[in-house]
Amino acid sequence: MDTSGSNVDHNKVLFGSRSVTKLPDTIKRLGGSSPVILTSKGKNGTANGNMLAKILTDASMTPAAILNVAVMHTPKPVTEEALEKLKAHAADCIVSIGGGSVVGLGKALSVRTGLKHICIPTTYSGSEMTPILGETENGRKVTRSDPKILPDFVIYDVDLTMSLPAATCAYSGVNAMAHAVESLYAVNTSPAISKLALEGIQGLAEALPAIVKDSNDRSAREKAQHAAWLCGVCLGTSATALHHKLCHTLGGSFNLPHAETHTIILPHAVAYNAPAIPDTMQKLASVLPGSEGDAIRGLNILLEKLEVSRSLKAFGMREEDIDKATEIAMSMQYANPRAMEKDAICELIRRAWAGEPAR
Ligand code: NAD
């Protein structure tokens, strides 16, 4: 499916360069007129709340407020403070612009207020396509799924991703790829989801190295954004397994960065499950350049090309946390193609911690 170049409206999803200019119409269509605009705390490049406010005021619409407050893992105190401001400014809908962190805050506010939520994603997290929300309180991340959490409209405008640093593109893109990989062997997978997943994985495997080579490559960024959308659909409709559960444990318990953790764990989690899913491994290998029929080789080659860090140690995980992470991972109950074997899981985490390639 080629969505490049033109504005394609898939009912709830709008693609294309300058599609952000359709924001005022989209807000009106959803019955709103005065949105709260959410962005991430810190530097956001072109994912800019003031730019959105100008588009709205040019269309004679007044934003209720701009809140530059979102941080990773959706801490409840941040949400509660934003909720007070949203009410004080009488916002009648929510617009989130940026990565998964700001989409998370938008979801948390929308599910608490019932207000419509429009997302303008500028990373490849895929969160905008899922009814899943993970919130953190007192150092614990609790995830829930509810159809009410699913955003009401998504605008994918490649122009707004151009300032996302190439390294962030690489980590975020592998995060998206992981959604699709797990959907290939999910307990509720289907031929349709597998098709979307393989298209998404292939798109990212081709586009991400091109972005790392030339961060101004607009068509590669467009391809990556489209592929990430497909991967987000996969996450939104499939059960997750070892990979996502492990990343959840590591991120939540040891405060490791989200997309980076997904990137490091992915080849190891796939290697663990490989003996139980030979057909899936063949399919996965078929969309990974240079794999020569071996999906793990294909993933290792991709990560080398992306020049990403391969070790959890580099992000602050301590060696003594390996046993603790193994225990938490073993205590979780979920469907996975291969049974959870304590020694093998511990070795998986150790290799990821040390930065040894998957095998
Ligand atoms: P993020 O949202 O924190 O963004 C990463 C960095 O990119 C931030 O510093 C941000 O300011 C910057 N950034 C974003 N857009 C930019 C742009 N256009 N130009 C320059 N910089 C830009 O990280 P993420 O990886 O996108 O999202 C991680 C969060 O999303 C985590 O909290 C994770 O739990 C959540 N998530 C949720 C789901 C779900 O389905 N619920 C899925 C994936 C991720």
| Lookup result for tokens 């998986």 | 348
Please give the Cα distance from 148 to 61 (Å, whole number): 26
Q: Which of 67, 125, 265, 266 to mutate to test the pocket of ligand 1 (most atoms within 8 A of CB)?
A: 125
**46 Cα nearest atom in ligand 1:** 18
Nearest to 73 by CA among 97, 101, 112, 41: 101
Note the pTM of the prediction, 2 decimals.
Answer: 0.96
Nearest CA to ligand 1 atom 36: 100
Written as one string, the DSSP assignment of 138-177 is: TTEEEEEE-GGGS-SEEEE-GGGGTTS-HHHHHHHHHHHH
Cβ pair 265, 247 in contact under 8 A: yes
**101 Cα nearest atom in ligand 1:** 2
3-state secondary structure (DSSP) of residue 11: coil
Ligand 1 pocket, Cβ-based, cut-off 6 angstroms: 40, 42, 44-47, 72-74, 98-102, 104, 122-123, 125-127, 130, 132-134, 160-161, 163-164, 168, 172, 175, 235, 258-259
Q: Do domains 8-161 and 166-354 have the same CATH topology?
A: no
Q: How far is CA 56 from CA 171, 172, 289, in A?
A: 32, 29, 43
Please give the Cα distance from 349 to 323 (Å, whole number): 9
The domain made up of 166-354 has a fold known as Dehydroquinate synthase-like, alpha domain (1.20.1090)
**251 Cα nearest atom in ligand 1:** 34
Domain positions in the chain: 8-161, 166-354
Nearest CA to ligand 1 atom 35: 100
The domain made up of 8-161 has a fold known as Rossmann fold (3.40.50)
Q: What ipTM was predicted for this assembly?
A: 0.99
Cβ pair 101, 47 in contact under 8 A: no
Report CA torsion sign: 74, 75, 78, 80: positive
Written as one string, the DSSP assignment of 96-126 is: EEESHHHHHHHHHHHHHH---EEEEE-SS--
Cα 125 to ligand 1 centroid, rounded to whole Å: 6
CB-based contacts of 323, cutoff 8 Å, min separation 6:
346
Cα 100 to ligand 1 centroid, rounded to whole Å: 4
CB-based contacts of 38, cutoff 8 Å, min separation 6:
49, 67, 69, 70, 82, 94, 95, 96, 97, 98, 102, 105, 106, 109
Q: Over its length of 359 residues, how does the chain's per-residue pLDDT go in tens digits?
A: 444 444 544 469 999 999 999 999 999 999 999 999 999 998 889 999 999 999 999 999 999 999 999 999 899 999 999 999 999 999 999 999 999 999 999 999 999 999 999 999 999 999 999 999 999 888 778 899 999 999 999 999 999 999 999 999 999 999 999 999 999 999 999 999 999 999 999 999 999 999 999 999 999 999 999 999 999 999 999 999 999 999 998 988 898 999 999 999 999 999 999 999 999 999 999 999 999 999 999 999 999 999 999 999 999 999 999 999 999 999 988 999 999 999 999 999 999 999 999 98
Q: What angle do CA 37, 112, 19 make, to 5 degrees?
A: 35
**72 Cα nearest atom in ligand 1:** 32
Cα 258 to ligand 1 centroid, rounded to whole Å: 8
